[in-house]
Structure 1
């Protein structure tokens, strides 16, 4: 069986999207480090758009993994052993880094003589934020839980279709994708109507935005993009500039209104719980016809940031930022010293990501590509 994807098939436009997303996240975390208690609108603005970086990753991941699943379907690789190989390749991409950083977080907590959180075992099964608010320990893990469950759910549904109907088609893929999106949209509505867990101290970001059962659909908007780009490639390329303009207009319009009207999530739960996150995912998807077909001479810096992005995401906050805060009370420093801390944060994050990618992540990926070809 020939490999469905290889590392040589990189699309520069998507590398650019990935680099932008991780830089948004790092910028947001920078404000948390240097201005933790600031109420300035400019700081809140940076923090808010840092969170959008994670949503970009969701749609991007859905687009890439959806394309791989479509290629499986197109080649007839829809038996249980084929999906097992799909999962195995995916898990070798995500799990080693995740568990490595999880263990480092546990060791750091013990070194700082702090108590391990209750239910620490749940982190090993990605259930720490399945239906409840994401814990304060290893907070980056919330998005990885959502992705892992999303990548289990879709293939399982496709496997059921293969067992029942003896075959899986492109229509099956599209129907499953739409059904998953609709189901989790209904879940959002139900949670909002029942006010489940929305107490007086309800924190929308931790208790809704970062919970698996409210966010799985974010991945599947990327699946829709994968379907259109694969089966309707001419149309996908034809509309790339139009959707880029529509995406910019939609993004600016929504967020200009949010900031102008000061729509706080906890005060406008109906909008944020039911409408905002799906609208944001659709908005991000509008940029993909342009970036997935964008051709340019590869910029080495952009490609490297893209390659290191997963490691950067895992190390920058809990390993680097929180360790700095453990030893230095940044709020008491002068402006110049704050700048030095900020530069140190970025340098350490990139240095550790570089080391992790080259000496841990990359060897595992090479092992995977040599031994698991589906």
Structure 2
């Protein structure tokens, strides 16, 4: 697999690699449910944090694309459509492939399929109601897809009615409107519903599209600042990153120390936990987005993990781990046997992800840059 390191930003690859490693670590608790102590606590936090790193990073990357497209004089609906097509060529092939495989796996091992399976085909399975316990990691992909549609569509409609307005100003106004809108949606949920326990929170708030789209738009806001205020973006890089990391650590350590549990502090969990976490992650971007390279010994494995991260994400849990657990249950294992089991699991995940990326994901992504598709949108 050839990698053009000149076109990559190591700091952002590092973010993506850390995010997928966090998600994988959190899911190993299914292999080793008896894990205790600080490791279990860390891994539990990693699952929640890792996906949000993906969200904010995704927003930052698409935000820079959207801003440049939106502020150009020749911006049209075709440009916006081409943006969507490019995103769909990047995200949909892996999603639908793994959706089909998940259906086959569920039938094979005797698991019940969701009553409204068709909703998975349109990313509606977790739009506003409880996430079904089938292909659970797909919840974040629904959030991504609707975020890709919502922002550009609102920006286009606002520009349609305010053609003479400053486009940079419209861009940031729409972004701030989306952030406010989804804070209000979470406040509404907090006033209308009662959180009973963390699993209820996970399935009814954390994983629901209408409460989580704003996570991506904190990244979009960061992209706007990086383009419009480049000197400030550069000058605050160390201070902002230090603050972001400190805030993430402090917030997740203070929760158990201070007893900020969901039953006593529902508004913190339903609303402000998401907001503070996204802002803290966004604060790491000024520094990480400017780290262009690293020593080869570090750069190469991090870049490989980053490139394979999407395939790893959609294959590692509900397909690979579920099949391993079905054929070779890990519950009776301990000590060296459990370590070997985990190592084999990680090896299988990376081999499968490489094969999928090399022979399916990459060829599908390359289609979006084909002359035929580009010509259609000219």
TM-score band w.r.t. shorter chain: over 0.9
- Of the structure 1 ranges 40-49 and 359-368, higher mean CA displacement relative to structure 2 is found in 40-49
Tell me by how many angstroms 1:127 deviates.
Answer: 0.5
Spell out, residue by residue over 1:266-292, the C-alpha distance to the aligned partner (whole angstroms, 9 max, x if none): 442111012111000000000000000
For structure 1, the residue ranges without an aligned partner over 5 or more in a row are: 1-5
Judging changes above 3 Å, is the alpha-carbon distance between structure 1 residues 11 and 76 closer, same or farther for their aligned structure 2 residues? Answer: farther
Name 1:73's counterpart in structure 2. 70
1:55 aligns with 2:49: no
For structure 2, the residue ranges without an aligned partner over 5 or more in a row are: none
Is residue 58–residue 222 contact of structure 1 (8 Å, CA) maintained in 2? yes
- Of the structure 1 ranges 309-318 and 242-251, higher mean CA displacement relative to structure 2 is found in 242-251
Is residue 9–residue 293 contact of structure 2 (8 Å, CA) maintained in 1? no
- Counterparts of residues 149-164 of structure 1 (less than 5 Å): 149-164=146-161
Name 2:359's counterpart in structure 1. 359
SS in 2 for 1:140: helix
Task: State how far apart, in whole Å, the 2-side matches of 1:324 and 1:265 are.
Answer: 33
Judging changes above 3 Å, is the alpha-carbon distance between structure 1 residues 82 and 105 closer, same or farther for their aligned structure 2 residues? Answer: same
Spell out, residue by residue over 1:317-344, the C-alpha distance to the aligned partner (whole angstroms, 9 max, x if none): 0111111111222111232211111011
Task: State how far apart, in whole Å, the 2-side matches of 1:200 and 1:300 are.
Answer: 42
Spell out, residue by residue over 1:101-152, the C-alpha distance to the aligned partner (whole angstroms, 9 max, x if none): 0000011111223332111100000000001121110001000000110110
Q: Where in structure 1 do 4 or more consecutive aligned residues deviate above 4 Å? A: 197-202
Name 1:325's counterpart in structure 2. 325
Task: State how far apart, in whole Å, the 1-side matches of 2:66 and 2:197 are.
Answer: 43
Name 1:13's counterpart in structure 2. 11
CA RMSD after TM alignment: 1.9
Judging changes above 3 Å, is the alpha-carbon distance between structure 1 residues 52 and 267 closer, same or farther for their aligned structure 2 residues? Answer: same
Is residue 13–residue 303 contact of structure 2 (8 Å, CA) maintained in 1? yes
Is residue 204–residue 266 contact of structure 1 (8 Å, CA) maintained in 2? no
Structure 2 residue aligned with 1:274, among 260, 271, 274? Answer: 271
Name 1:175's counterpart in structure 2. 173
Name 1:95's counterpart in structure 2. 92
Task: State how far apart, in whole Å, the 1-side matches of 2:74 and 2:326 are.
Answer: 50
1:283 aligns with 2:280: yes
TM-score, length of structure 2 as denominator length = 0.92
SS in 1 for 2:290: coil
Task: State how far apart, in whole Å, the 2-side matches of 1:273 and 1:49 are.
Answer: 18
Task: State how far apart, in whole Å, the 1-side matches of 2:208 and 2:124 are.
Answer: 10
Name 2:243's counterpart in structure 1. 246
Count of matched residue pairs? 367
Judging changes above 3 Å, is the alpha-carbon distance between structure 1 residues 283 and 329 closer, same or farther for their aligned structure 2 residues? Answer: same
